[in-house]
Amino acid sequence: DTGVSQNPRHKITKRGQNVTFRCDPISEHNRLYWYRQTLGQGPEFLTYFQNEAQLEKSRLLSDRFSAERPKGSFSTLEIQRTEQGDSAMYLCASSSGGPNQPQHFGDGTRLSIL
Amino acid sequence: RKEVEQDPGPFNVPEGATVAFNCTYSNSASQSFFWYRQDCRKEPKLLMSVYSSGNEDGRFTAQLNRASQYISLLIRDSKLSDSATYLCVVLDSGYALNFGKGTSLLVTP
């Protein structure tokens, strides 16, 4: 399978715990994106990497959130001290080449905070 | 104000019907436009890009009106498998996709 891969698929944790998600983009894609989707809404942009550089962060990304892409390949998204409002689907996408290229999404990680 | 607005539906249509979805966007500087399809509890999947001249892909036709900041999607000869949520998507800044809330379509036998 050469698509975007995310794991875990599901994560259930207690409020206050830290969680980390992983995304492996399509191998030749240099751009990687994180989005968050809650029920009844479209996905909302969180952050964006071009190779290993994090070029943009949404105001939605509070200081409890951090994302890395250390070698310009896979990326991790960590949420510290989780809150119930963090419950959502976290989607990773990747794209190739310059701007305006379509983004291809992974299956997502569904986070549930108890 | 939401940057990308869509009628949430649901649209319930019989098999074989033609159905059209509309979308408006607020940023006149928007650069690229797409329709994505999302099945229940699945990831969004690119359906088609939308070009200024309009474009067609099989039973699907997309139109863009930059002056009115309006995008449409027409589905002809609806199939049961077309049942999904259709997301209107606008690329503003070269990286961040702005999604509408989606329009729900149910095609019935």
Residue by residue, pLDDT tens for chain B (109 residues) are: 568 999 988 999 999 999 999 999 999 888 899 999 999 989 999 999 999 888 999 999 999 999 999 999 999 999 999 999 999 999 977 788 999 999 999 999 9
Residue B31's closest chain A neighbor by CA? Answer: A100
Q: Which pLDDT score, from 0 to 100, does residue A99 have?
A: 67
Per-residue model confidence (pLDDT) at position A98:
73
State the smallest CA–CA distance between residue A105 and chain B in angstroms.
Answer: 6
B80: three-class secondary structure by DSSP: helix
Q: B96 and A91: CB-CB below 8 Å?
A: no
pLDDT score for B2: 66
Residue A71 makes CB contacts below 8 A (sequence gap 6+) with: A52
Residue by residue, pLDDT tens for chain A (114 residues) are 579 999 999 999 999 999 999 999 999 899 999 999 999 899 999 999 999 999 988 888 889 999 999 988 999 999 999 999 999 999 999 998 776 788 999 999 999 999
Q: Which of B97, B101, B103 to mutate to test the interface with A (most CBs of A within 10 A)?
A: B97
